[in-house]
Amino acid sequence: MPLVCPEDDPLVFGVTPMSYNVPFVKMTRIPRATVNRLPLYLRVLDVIPENQTTVSSKELAELIKENSAKVRKDLSFLGTYGVRGVGYNVEHLRFQIRRELGLTRIWPVIIVGAGNLGSALARYGGFAPSGFSVVAIYDNDPEVIGTTVGELTVGPMEDIRRDAEDLGVEIGIIATPVPAAQQVAEQLAEAGFKSILNFAPMVLRVPPEVEIRRVDLSTELQILGYYVQRAMTEGQKPAE
């Protein structure tokens, strides 16, 4: 798991090659901004035609809307520099990124909150191909506990610590209403969770050793609103 550090400090990852005949790298220091872009690189590699074996930094830059110099710098942290005039081997680059993100294994994940959002996430089939498996879902509503969501049975909140220890879970998803989110975050931290994905539209307070990511749809829409407004303003013709 990545070590938590201040925003402008690098994250530290241990990597273990699982395939390809690559040398063992003990520790790779990667800036947080680069780590945030690695899943994006992985995503765009999946849209490259199967018969294309190499990809250039220029192609990657165009796909993620960055400049090619930043792409080359990002990928250099993986220990790969590409070949001038050829680019990067697609399969090997995909392996290096997955290795650095810890995706050479399947990570068990739990969901807290069995409402509409939590249930939809539990049924989502896209986690497994990305290296994650939802193994349990919890709620505090007596009428919801014991019901099924997909192939999972909703468990009570008090079972989280025990189940996390039994299943080796360190990643939790919060899909609760705002009033319950902070208490859930504290419970997950106390249960030893190292990473939390928060869907509640609020900033949660967690210990420094817990990495937390926030998915705030309303914030994203507000940002999109800015770009729509700017496009409309720029598209207006000056009065004659």
Q: Does residue 197 lie in a domain region?
A: yes
Question: Do 77 and 33 share a structural domain?
Answer: yes
Q: Which domain holds residue 162?
A: 107-219
| Residue 61's CATH number | 1.10.10.10
Task: Report the run of H or E that residue 88 belongs to, with start and end.
Answer: strand 88-89
Question: Do 199 and 113 share a structural domain?
Answer: yes
Rounded CA separation 104/4 (Å): 21
Question: Do 185 and 139 share a structural domain?
Answer: yes
Question: Do 122 and 206 share a structural domain?
Answer: yes
Question: Do 87 and 164 share a structural domain?
Answer: no
Percent with pLDDT over 70 in the chain: 86
Residue 28 has pLDDT above 80, yes or no: no
- Grade residue 229 by pLDDT with cuts at 50, 70 and 90: confident
Q: Does residue 232 lie in a domain region?
A: no
Q: What is the pLDDT of residue 178?
A: 94
Q: What is the pLDDT of residue 72?
A: 92
DSSP conformation class of 106: P
DSSP conformation class of 211: E
Q: Give the Cβ contact number of residue 188 at 10 Å.
A: 28
Rounded CA separation 178/201 (Å): 7
Rounded CA separation 220/87 (Å): 34
| CB neighbour burial string for 148-180, b if at least 16 within 10 angstroms, e if fewer | ebeebebbebeebeebbeeeebbbbbbbbeeeb
Q: Does residue 33 lie in a domain region?
A: yes
Question: Do 56 and 22 share a structural domain?
Answer: yes
Question: Do 121 and 43 share a structural domain?
Answer: no
Question: Do 116 and 55 share a structural domain?
Answer: no
Domain count, the chain: 2
Q: What is the pLDDT of residue 239?
A: 52
Rank 41-45, 49-53, 56-60, 142-146 by mean pLDDT and report only the highest: 142-146
144, two tokens: 């919801």
Q: What is the CA radius of gyration of the chain?
A: 21
| Residue 212's CATH number | 3.40.50.720
Q: Does residue 226 lie in a domain region?
A: no
Q: Do residues 67 and 52 lie in contact, with contact meaning Cβ atoms separated by under 8 Å?
A: no
Q: Does residue 227 lie in a domain region?
A: no
Q: Does residue 188 lie in a domain region?
A: yes
Question: Do 182 and 132 share a structural domain?
Answer: yes
Q: What is the pLDDT of residues 196-206, one digit of tens each?
A: 999 999 999 99
Question: Do 112 and 94 share a structural domain?
Answer: no
Rounded CA separation 106/171 (Å): 12
Out of 100, 121, 147, pick the residue that ends a domain: 100
